[in-house]
Structure 1
Amino acid sequence: MTDHDQISRRTAVTAVAATAALLPFAGAATAHAQQAGERGRFFRHGIASGDPLPDGVLLWTRVTPTAEATPGSGRGPDTEVGWQVATDQDFASVVAHGSVTASAAADHTVKADVRGLRPATRYYYRFTVDGEHSPVGRTRTAPAIPHSPQGMGGTPTTSAGNVRFGVVSCANWESGYFSAYRHLAARTDLDAVLHLGDYLYEYKSGEFPDFASAVRPHSPAHELLTLADYRTRHGVHKTDPDALAMHAAHPVIAIWDDHEFADNAWSGGAVNHSPDTEGSWAKRMAAAKQAYFEWMPVRPSTAGTTYRRLRFGTLADLHLLDLRSFRDAQAEPGSGAVDDPGRTLTGRAQLDWLKAGLERSDAAWRLVGTSVMVSQVAFGSIPAYLLAPLAELLGVPKEGLAVNTDQWDGYTDDRRELLGHLSDRGIDNTVFLTGDIHMAWANDVPLKAATYPVTAPVATEFVVTSVTSDNVDDFLHVAPHTVSLAGVAAIRAANRHVKWLDMDSHGYGVLDVTAERTQMDFFGISDRTDPNATSELLRSYRTRSGTQRVERADRPVG
């Protein structure tokens, strides 16, 4: 792939305030009944945008042309769908328009890859079928790359002082409501939302969490295996009012992790896949990928993989990784296979692409979206009562925690090569952005963790917690930040490069990038089972340019 191919303190927000501040246009209100009414007959799954460029953005919607044309049904006629992009929410100044055809072959999802727009500019967009308009979406193009051509419409900003992203991962439908999405939708200061994987979960209803803890049931109720299954569950997620609001408010930049396929997926299988009873893994993975590209606002030019690169002016190159399609099977903990140079997490082509992109980047910051944690982690003397929930989260044996082999810890040769590349080539200001493990972390990333801080860090890492998926307090059915504190202390004692760890919160992050520093504000929601959950700042950490170290910040950005 070429760069051209991929385009390279404490605050509480009440639900009422979030709803009131949500959007300055009528088409994406969060009131559930109002929003459902606005979607009308045809646009029951909302609208979305994604993968912003300096001169364009990808638009998405799904059309329901007839009552039987439900997601995954394979039914319904071809339908002409018009689209418009304007500089105002009333569409008095339309700067681009066109049409696409929705068909059953793509589950009646459509995309429009709009170009010729101005950089760093807010736009509004909508779709139309038979005279009925969709809700109005708001999107934003990326800041200009030096010497990039100017497009049409709007007022450009040629030199961005900052770029700001919402950051989320791990949104299990049955585990709770997507309030984190609602709070991100309420913000008007974001350039985009970065989704780091596990946008949905493949489990059958009542498996994770169990029926007693489930807040709302999956559909379909069985485990996802077929194209129709994956399409159906994507469709359910695109009826959630908070997800709809987030997608309508901001462009979303997404990569996948394992649960878009099956738990602990790798190129040839998954922990949660039995060929004897569930058929071909290749067929299942192909079905999951097809549904993902149909239902997510990700450019179809990346079909087959989500690794790609996006540029945000002079401030940041964002390198997005696919760590499921090319990896070898996870090693058995303690087997020694984690250090086998013949095993890979990234695949050779992707690792070479990443190394080359990091080296030639002339942006102030090199951001790497990775679905699993890159930092080395030893688990030390974890109290016995924490072994089971941590093992459940991390996919390691309940009798002991040596290493999480699903993360980069299980593929040490790839990590050694990547971090060595950063060190040898003097590549600074690299920040890994991570999801997956339902905890929040702020880490230095040393070349050799065992000798840190004598061995200097070569990068930093911010890991966001889950939107809803179970974490330690949920597994133990205890109050948050009580019994887990012993585990936090043990992990930090064994890992001096881990500067902060929260095992219990659910929520989201807000990442702000300037030439001088990159800062992550970690937010927690009050109760994942409450659709009106409030949001509170947990901590803020930053890394200053040239330091490769994280430090606590005394206030959030903005």
Structure 2
Amino acid sequence: MKLDRRQFLKYSGFLSVSVATGSLSACGGSSSVASDQSELPLATGTGWKFPQSVASGDPRPDSVILWTRVTPASLGVAAVAPTGNDVAIRLIVTATDNTALLGSNTALTGTTVVDTRLSVLASFDNTVRNKVTGLQAGQTYFYQFIAGDVRSNVGRFKTAPASNADVAQLQFAYLTCQDWSVNHWGAMDYIAKNENLDFIIHLGDYIYETVGAAFQTGNAEARHTALQLPDGTALLNADGTTGKAKYATTLADYRYLYKMYRSDPRQQAIHERFAYIAIWDDHEFSDDAWKDAVTYENNSLDSSGNNIHQTSRRRTANQAWFEFMPADVSLDAANTGFQNIQIYRDFQFGKLMQLVMTDERLYRSDHVVPESLFNPATGKALNSSMGTRYVVPQDVFNLVEGQKITAATAMTGDPLSDVSMLGKTQRDWWKNKMQTSTNTWKIWGNEVCLMRMGLNGTDAIATLLALNSISTLATNITTTLSNPALGGNVLVAATLVAAMTAGASQAVASGAAVAMVTAAATGGNVATAGTSAGLTAAQAGIAVATFNAAKAAAAAGTAPQIGAAAQTIAFGYIKPDVQTNKQNSSFVIASGQQAALSSFFTKFLLNCDQWDGYNSERKALMQHLLTNKISNVVSVTGDIHGFFAGTVNDDFDAAGGGTPAMVDLVSAGISSDSFFTYMKDGAGSTGLATIIFYPLSIPVPNIGTITINVNMLDYTMGKAAPTVDGLLEQIRVQLTGALTAKGVPEGATLTGTVQAILAGLKTNSDFNTSLLGLAQQLAALGNNQWMKYINSDAQGYTVVTLTPGKLVAQFKQVNKLVNNGTMTAPTDVIARITTATVNSGTSAVSIS
């Protein structure tokens, strides 16, 4: 049977091919060889436009994918392409330097290497994808599409170096998580205007399939108008009623989102200037998706309590991504399943770098602890992300993963078949690519964080209760000090309160405190004096420590003595007692939160939608690297909306956290709300809020009081203990955003105000003592020691400079939205640059 051209395009995945030549005229006819020398009539006249501009992708030494979308000029930016109006347009490509024309639709100059006709079909919403082959390696080219008398903006791309080339340096950026509905896209404008890149990696969440979801209700720049899905399905509220938020369901919905996201001139400007190498994550289909299954709470389980599978919706999401992303992949329309597209692929950049891009959604198993898990408290499925995908008890995870591995081994012979993120075929492909690569660096385009993000709940609660006790202990010491019998002796009062806190009666504690202070004054043994007066060894121990702390602070005055004594009791006795006795500690019982806190006395995995939720497969991959002595493997990672850097170890549960096998560099989202923001909102007014954030109110003359929630999550997760200056620097970006919200104009006034406030905070006891002490205590928890950099409250992107000797990644954090009524991106976009360096031959990262 003979297929006509449209059928051929449909079943070949809608990708035409042009072969570049070296001697073509800029004004000539169809002078390149192309598989789609379109038989459709050329578009004529001026009634055309390119509403999403142009884009290039997947640069190889001899080829690239070029993309555009063309519509009648009368249509809206996201309107559906009309049927019965299929036409052909021209594509021209030249190696002549047309840099000056970027950002314009002026006609290209110079000799063309491609001049071909391409079909524009309504069946693909008038998107056009053409693969240009026969290009020169390491060459910059410029291109333009022409519809009738209308030209698209000029585009530019650079081909990859030849596979055997000695490359001195590569520079690329990687981006992720660009929610239209919150914050701003100023970073895109900055990249287009300032970065000198060979290409850009996009790690997914290019669109967000939800509109109006709870996490999308924050401030957004005014130029991003509210999105309205053509169809959409309502997300249910917690009580099961229909909510206002919707998620994309149909092909029209997903196409609409891409068209709107790509309509932003700043997004267009990046695509016009740099070729993309893109992969998807979850929001191109559905939040926290696996295969074709959805996980929305109250929308995700069927009558049997299992995740709902939406094959048709998954297929429409695949098609929309395929249509709008310039990627060198094919969509198999004849395949009626949801795995009808393969987007994992690799790229060579000379001898310097092999880039391996993986798909971590289409083949992954269900989350190890599923939402359908039986909840004994209700008798129903959990149907909640908490305890299944987020803040998962590690012992529960280990138990369920072990059960699945045992069952899979018996049934399939593949122990990882039910606990895999990559799937066996892709996993074997990844291993082979890593093992056979002869490139100096192996860079892994990885969607979700590889590093363990754990939390020891027992230590966290013990620290929290100790912190909360300090003010009470200080009050007790002050009250005791007022007893005339003590003669105003702080040492006696502090020692007495310490002994009573440890369980001594008031009578025994009073006698012991006097005896101990007397012994110290007469050269006796303080501890012996305490036990001789009736204290137990434990009671005497904390009493001595408290006495010593108060004595050491004596020169500073009474208040510092009391403060030092209170902290010593809190962290020297209360914290260890809670760590030892957990929910049965008398201090937990006295807090009135025994029932609420009882389930938190264990270790937790913060995010099991990441690789922590696929631990055995991660261990297998890392063991593969170590066993085969595969070095210089670095993952560039997105998804979690923060900057993180550290090592990926073979077994995070082994002594010392295991052996480092590679490095993971995680970039914050371009605009999506930060991981800290989500955790803060989740903690709310719970008893765990203190280990997440610290409300700090700051009176500012002529402006009023501003309140910022200082990020404590970073220290809880393992950030090194700060100095006062380090803590001040941490809050600078947030403080700047809070001031613009009060109407302080950008520029010298804003900078000066920020500096003045920070200088005042440096001498403020609430900041330099209470807040600093809290941060230092949380850092002392020692969580996630493999993480060398943590910034969970940020938006931005990362630029990598790669040479044979080292990889240098610049985490570029952006300033907050200017929300003083204007709702605009900040004029001064870049707020902070932090540098992560990986030296060749090491699985370690240093931060500066």
Output the TM-score relative to the length of structure 1. Answer: 0.82
SS at 2:71's partner residue? Answer: coil
- Report the AA paired with residue 183 of structure 1: Y
Unaligned runs of 5+ in 1: 1-38, 147-157, 388-397, 554-558
1:84/1:96 contact within 8 Å kept: yes
Do structure 1's residue 130 and structure 2's residue 148 form an aligned pair? yes
2:454/2:605 contact within 8 Å kept: yes
2:62/2:136 contact within 8 Å kept: yes
Please name the residue that 2:627 is paired with.
Answer: 424
Q: CA deviation at 1:246?
A: 0.7
1:201 corresponds to which of 202, 208, 211 = 208
2:443 corresponds to which of 359, 367, 370 = 367
- Report the AA paired with residue 380 of structure 1: N
Q: CA deviation at 1:499?
A: 0.3
Structure 1 residues 254 and 85, CA gap change in structure 2 (3 angstroms): same
- Report the AA paired with residue 119 of structure 2: T
Please name the residue that 1:13 is paired with.
Answer: none
Q: CA deviation at 1:527?
A: 1.6
Please name the residue that 1:250 is paired with.
Answer: 274
- Report the AA paired with residue 487 of structure 1: T
1:106 corresponds to which of 110, 115, 124 = 124
Separation of aligned partners in 1, 2:331 and 2:637? 21
Please name the residue that 2:836 is paired with.
Answer: 541
Separation of aligned partners in 1, 2:51 and 2:657? 56
2:400 corresponds to which of 337, 358, 362 = 337
1:356 corresponds to which of 432, 437, 440 = 432
Separation of aligned partners in 2, 1:370 and 1:198? 13
1:484/1:503 contact within 8 Å kept: yes
Unaligned runs of 5+ in 2: 1-45, 99-107, 230-244, 333-340, 370-391, 406-415, 465-598, 682-706, 720-777, 819-823
2:330 corresponds to which of 301, 316, 327 = 301
Greater Cα offset, 518-527 or 446-455? 446-455
Structure 1 residues 72 and 299, CA gap change in structure 2 (3 angstroms): farther
Greater Cα offset, 343-352 or 217-226? 217-226
Please name the residue that 1:406 is paired with.
Answer: 609
Separation of aligned partners in 2, 1:383 and 1:412? 23
- Report the AA paired with residue 825 of structure 2: P
- Report the AA paired with residue 539 of structure 1: T
Q: How does 1:381-392 map to 2 (within 5 A)?
A: 381=457
Q: CA deviation at 1:483?
A: 3.8
Do structure 1's residue 531 and structure 2's residue 549 form an aligned pair? no
Q: CA deviation at 1:206?
A: 4.7
Please name the residue that 1:467 is paired with.
Answer: 670
**C-alpha RMSD of matched pairs (Å):** 2.7
1:320 corresponds to which of 336, 344, 357 = 357
Q: CA deviation at 1:104?
A: 1.2
Q: How many residues align?
A: 492
Separation of aligned partners in 2, 1:546 and 1:188? 28
Greater C-alpha radius of gyration: 2
SS at 1:85's partner residue? Answer: strand
Greater Cα offset, 177-186 or 540-549? 177-186
Separation of aligned partners in 2, 1:462 and 1:550? 9
Q: CA deviation at 1:93?
A: 2.0
Please name the residue that 2:181 is paired with.
Answer: 174
- Report the AA paired with residue 496 of structure 1: Q
Separation of aligned partners in 2, 1:195 and 1:436? 11
Separation of aligned partners in 2, 1:268 and 1:92? 48
Structure 1 residues 406 and 485, CA gap change in structure 2 (3 angstroms): closer
Please name the residue that 1:379 is paired with.
Answer: 455
SS at 1:269's partner residue? Answer: coil
Separation of aligned partners in 2, 1:377 and 1:101? 49
Do structure 1's residue 240 and structure 2's residue 269 form an aligned pair? no
Structure 1 residues 351 and 403, CA gap change in structure 2 (3 angstroms): same
Do structure 1's residue 75 and structure 2's residue 93 form an aligned pair? no
Q: CA deviation at 1:460?
A: 0.5
Q: Deviations over 1:282-316 (max 9, x none)?
A: 11110011000101111233761320001111111
Do structure 1's residue 288 and structure 2's residue 285 form an aligned pair? no
Structure 1 residues 487 and 103, CA gap change in structure 2 (3 angstroms): same
Q: How does 1:488-507 map to 2 (within 5 A)?
A: 488=717, 489=719, 490=778, 493-507=782-796
Greater Cα offset, 70-79 or 191-200? 70-79
Output the TM-score relative to the length of structure 2. Answer: 0.55
Q: CA deviation at 1:219?
A: 3.3
Separation of aligned partners in 2, 1:445 and 1:211? 34
Separation of aligned partners in 2, 1:70 and 1:424? 53
Separation of aligned partners in 2, 1:353 and 1:139? 28
Q: How does 1:10-29 map to 2 (within 5 A)?
A: none
Greater Cα offset, 297-306 or 51-60? 297-306
1:61/1:109 contact within 8 Å kept: yes
Higher relative contact order (CA 8 A, sep 6+): 1
Greater Cα offset, 248-257 or 65-74? 65-74
Q: CA deviation at 1:98?
A: 1.5
2:640 corresponds to which of 425, 437, 451 = 437
Q: CA deviation at 1:472?
A: 4.4
Q: CA deviation at 1:449?
A: 2.2
2:657/2:786 contact within 8 Å kept: no
Structure 1 residues 86 and 74, CA gap change in structure 2 (3 angstroms): closer
